[in-house]
């Protein structure tokens, strides 16, 4: 019996990482479009911190937040593709602060083999996407910010080009090719199942895809056009079944927070500072995402002192 108790004690120490030489696990839930930079950040952080293992889990940002709010899954850090997810779903009950750290833009990604790719241009992209023999993919707007940003882009394009009904035509097409998160579309593109997809520029670059850049008035990339983007909106699922919450257009900003009940809060703070550091910024640039310099906090007063050097107050 004594031998069994000793073995049980050793097993518990191993699981909790509290024994001599035991490591620590840092749990990060993150947007699918952050998979490549998060993997590179994790590799660099683990190398600089022997014994630390980063357990990362990708999903649509809304689904990632719900793992915390509805399923109660343990998590140290949430990195979202939209600051709105953190501010509306996690603060103040599950987290205290929210820092925007990087940007992106919506593009139309495709392959050289995609139908009409040789004539796909900025002056005819809508017409080609609407062709009966062309299949387009997009992310689920109820699960992923790239999904509702696609809705924004379609509605902004309708206004920009002065084509009533364009958004409904684009969004009503090929609904069988809507996926939970934007990176799920990459496999459909690479295997030739879809011809074009609404995608983040960074994801297109990371996977070697061709892409068409859209005007700033459509692609949600410019902080200076925030008021223009706010002219469109989408009702995402709310906190309770059957309820929906309006999210308005905004420039694309990725954000993150450390959970109030983070199992490894001190280690999480160290990783978040690394993410905001010069090396972290370099990794984001190399992955096709521009870091926000300085990073932007929704409320500077709530940001931990260890991170304040990286941020400035966000405009209300």
The arithmetic mean of pLDDT across residues 284-303, rounded, is 94
pLDDT of 80 over the 70 cut: yes
Q: Dump pLDDT digits (tens) for 159-209.
A: 999 999 999 999 999 999 999 988 999 999 999 999 999 999 999 999 999
**Tokens 């520029």 belong to residue:** 201
pLDDT of 3 over the 90 cut: no
pLDDT band with cut points at 50, 70 and 90 for residue 313: low
Tell me the average pLDDT of the chain.
Answer: 91
| Residue 239: predicted pLDDT | 67
CA 285/CA 4 separation, integer angstroms: 53
| Residue 244: predicted pLDDT | 86
pLDDT of 251 over the 60 cut: yes
Q: Where in the chain is the domain with CATH 3.40.190.10?
A: 2-103+253-313, 106-235
Q: Dump pLDDT digits (tens) for 93-121.
A: 999 999 999 999 999 999 999 999 999 99
pLDDT band with cut points at 50, 70 and 90 for residue 23: confident
Chain centroid to CA 146: 8
Interior/surface letters 178-204, b for 16+ CB within 10 angstroms, e for the rest: bbbbbbbbbebbeeeebbbbbbbbbbb
Q: How far is CA 163 from CA 127, 167, 215, in A?
A: 11, 9, 16
Fold of 2-103+253-313: D-Maltodextrin-Binding Protein; domain 2 (3.40.190)
106-235 maps to which CATH number?
3.40.190.10
CA 128/CA 15 separation, integer angstroms: 55
pTM here? 0.86
CA 296/CA 42 separation, integer angstroms: 22
The arithmetic mean of pLDDT across residues 142-150, rounded, is 94
Q: How far is CA 254 from CA 23, 69, 99, in A?
A: 29, 20, 8
């Amino acid at each position: 019996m004594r031998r069994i108790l000793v073995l049980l004690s050793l097993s518990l120490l191993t699981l909790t990482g509290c024994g001599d030489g035991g490591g620590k696990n840092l749990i990060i839930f993150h947007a699918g479009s952050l998979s490549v930079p998060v993997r590179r950040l994790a590799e660099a952080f683990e190398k600089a911190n022997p014994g630390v293992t980063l357990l990362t889990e990708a999903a649509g940002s809304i689904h990632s937040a719900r793992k915390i709010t509805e399923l109660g899954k343990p998590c140290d850090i949430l990195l979202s593709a939209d600051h709105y997810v953190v501010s509306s779903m996690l603060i103040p009950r599950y987290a205290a602060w929210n820092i925007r750290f990087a940007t992106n833009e919506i593009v139309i990604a495709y392959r050289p083999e995609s139908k009409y790719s040789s004539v796909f241009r900025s002056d005819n992209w809508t017409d080609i996407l609407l062709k009966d023999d062309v299949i387009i993919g997009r992310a689920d707007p109820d699960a992923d910010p790239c999904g509702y940003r696609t809705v924004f882009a379609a509605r902004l394009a309708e206004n920009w080009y002065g084509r009533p009904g364009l958004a409904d035509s684009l969004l009503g097409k090929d609904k069988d090719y809507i996926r939970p998160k934007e990176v799920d579309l990459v496999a459909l593109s690479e295997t030739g199942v879809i011809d074009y997809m609404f995608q983040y520029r960074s994801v297109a670059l990371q996977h070697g895809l061709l892409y068409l850049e859209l005007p700033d008035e459509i692609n949600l990339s410019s902080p200076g056009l925030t008021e223009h983007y706010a002219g469109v909106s989408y009702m995402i699922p709310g906190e309770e079944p059957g309820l929906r919450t309006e999210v308005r257009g905004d420039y694309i900003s990725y954000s993150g927070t450390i959970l109030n009940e983070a199992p490894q809060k001190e280690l999480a703070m160290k990783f978040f500072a690394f993410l905001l550091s010069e090396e972290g910024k370099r990794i984001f640039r190399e992955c096709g995402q521009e870091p926000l310099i300085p990073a932007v906090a929704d409320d500077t007063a709530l940001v931990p002192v260890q991170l304040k050097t990286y941020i400035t107050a966000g405009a209300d």
